[in-house]
Amino acid sequence: MSENLSSVEPNTIENHAPESESDALNFEVLLYYHYFPLADAEAYFRVHRDLCQRLALRGRVLIGSEGLNGTVSGPKAATEIYRRILQTDPRTAAMDFKIDPSEGHVFRKLSVKLRPEIVTLGLSPEEDIDPNQLTGQHLKPEDWAAALEDPDAVIIDGRNNYESAIGHFHGAICPDIDNFRDFPAWLREHADELRGKKILTYCTGGIRCEKLSGFLLKEGFDQVYQLEGGIVSYGKNQATRGRSFDGLCYVFDERVAVEVNQTDTHRIVSRCRHCDQPSARYRNCRWAPCNDQIFLCESCEETFGKFCSESCREKVAATAIDTV
Ligand SMILES: [Zn+2]
Ligand SMILES: [Zn+2]
């Protein structure tokens, strides 16, 4: 099953594994997924976890009988080996890697997990979508940019509310949901608004839309399109340069958000928790049990401190007095 992964000489990997701090400015962040049938997901999982550990990668990888979904960081020497190994495995040879240069790791640790789904839409096994069988039409960034201009198009942000809050395509519907598994119910509730329209869906790297657009087709919508490679690829495309994307793209690592729109249409959509002025500064509330992620402008942080609310500020003040 896993010949290509397991046939790699351990020594080859170790020789390229990060050894010293001198590699610290030469890191990559990889974002990737591939839907493919994995008959023995558990064996693949064990070999893959071992590979990631030996390469000293950090990040999150999900493996299931439907495929592979991951985002990892590591020194270039290690990420290059990782990419090469997956690209020489016929099962993942067609997989696209989105690559961001980085000054270091953007994850604290490595987590490789075996899951029933590599993206959790939460449908029953009978209802579940296999994107290799059923998925919306993929649009390249240039075609997506053109489709956005279509007056008959409805753009649906396929991510969670806290992601779309920091940035989204101009004019997109951003469903107020906390979890991807809430999408089927949301789409059924809003079916009347979508009927007869050209539906465009997008997400961070494309993986969620593979299922989401398949679900829409299954629900009877017939004009369903998805942004190939997601926001991340769109932002890297030199023809579109992120045009029409407002704000930043939320990412599930220590960077929190990354730039997308490099054109003059760039604008900030998120607002400071305290003064409601546009701000893309992301901070965690200083009251540790809260730790809420908030937008906080520079001047409010100066006058108010790094708190989401007055009550969190009071709690920290009370603790400080107690310990004096
Ligand atoms: Zn403010
Ligand atoms: Zn708080």
3-state secondary structure string across the chain: CCHHHHCCCHHHHHHHCCCCHHHCCCEEEEEEEEECCCCCHHHHHHHHHHHHHHCCCEEEEEEECCEEEEEEEEEHHHHHHHHHHHHHCCCCCCCCEEEEEECCCCCCCEEEEECCCCCCCCCCCCCCCCCCCCCCEEECHHHHHHHHCCCCEEEEECCCHHHHCCEEECCCECCCCCCHHHHHHHHHHCHHHHCCCEEEEECCCCHHHHHHHHHHHHCCCCCEEEECCHHHHHHHCCCCCCCCEEECEECCCCCCEECCCCCCCCCCCCECCCCCCECCCEEECCCCCCCCEEECCHHHHHHHCCCCCHHHHHHHHHHHHHHC
The rounded Å distance from CA 318 to ligand 2 centre is 14
Percentage, residues of the chain above pLDDT 90? 79
Q: For residue 25, what pLDDT band results from cuts at 50, 70 and 90? A: low
pLDDT, tens digit (0-9, with 9 covering 90-100), for 301-316? 999 999 999 999 999 9
Are the beta carbons of 162 and 180 closer than 8 angstroms?
A: no
Q: For residue 280, what pLDDT band results from cuts at 50, 70 and 90? A: confident
pLDDT of residue 238: 95
pLDDT of residue 143: 98
Say if residue 13's pLDDT is above 60. no
pLDDT of residue 5: 53
CATH class of the domain at 137-258: alpha beta
Of 41, 37, 99, nearest in space to 71 by CA: 99
Average pLDDT over residues 260-283: 89
pLDDT of residue 19: 46
Ligand closest to 284 (CA) is 2
**Domain boundaries, given as residue ranges, for the chain:** 3-114, 137-258, 282-323
Are the beta carbons of 96 and 32 closer than 8 angstroms?
A: yes
Say if residue 14's pLDDT is above 50. no
Ligand closest to 310 (CA) is 2
pLDDT of residue 251: 93
pLDDT of residue 37: 95
Average pLDDT over residues 104-119: 96
The rounded Å distance from CA 270 to ligand 1 centre is 11
Say if residue 202's pLDDT is above 60. yes
Ligand closest to 307 (CA) is 2
The rounded Å distance from CA 294 to ligand 2 centre is 9
Residue 255, both tokens = 């960077």
Say if residue 16's pLDDT is above 60. no
Average pLDDT over residues 85-108: 96
Say if residue 21's pLDDT is above 70. no
The rounded Å distance from CA 307 to ligand 2 centre is 5
Instruction: Choose which CATH entry (3.30.450.90, 3.30.70.100, 1.20.1300.10, 3.40.1360.10) describes domain 3-114.
Output: 3.30.70.100
pTM to 2 decimals? 0.84
Q: For residue 293, what pLDDT band results from cuts at 50, 70 and 90? A: confident
Task: Supply the residues annotated as catalytic.
Answer: 203
Least reliable range by pLDDT among 1-10, 152-161, 221-230: 1-10
The rounded Å distance from CA 268 to ligand 1 centre is 14
Say if residue 236's pLDDT is above 90. yes
pLDDT, tens digit (0-9, with 9 covering 90-100), for 28-60? 999 999 999 999 999 999 999 999 999 999 999
Of 79, 86, 87, 88, nearest in space to 63 by CA: 86
pLDDT of residue 126: 87
- CB hemisphere CA count around 101 (13 angstroms): 5
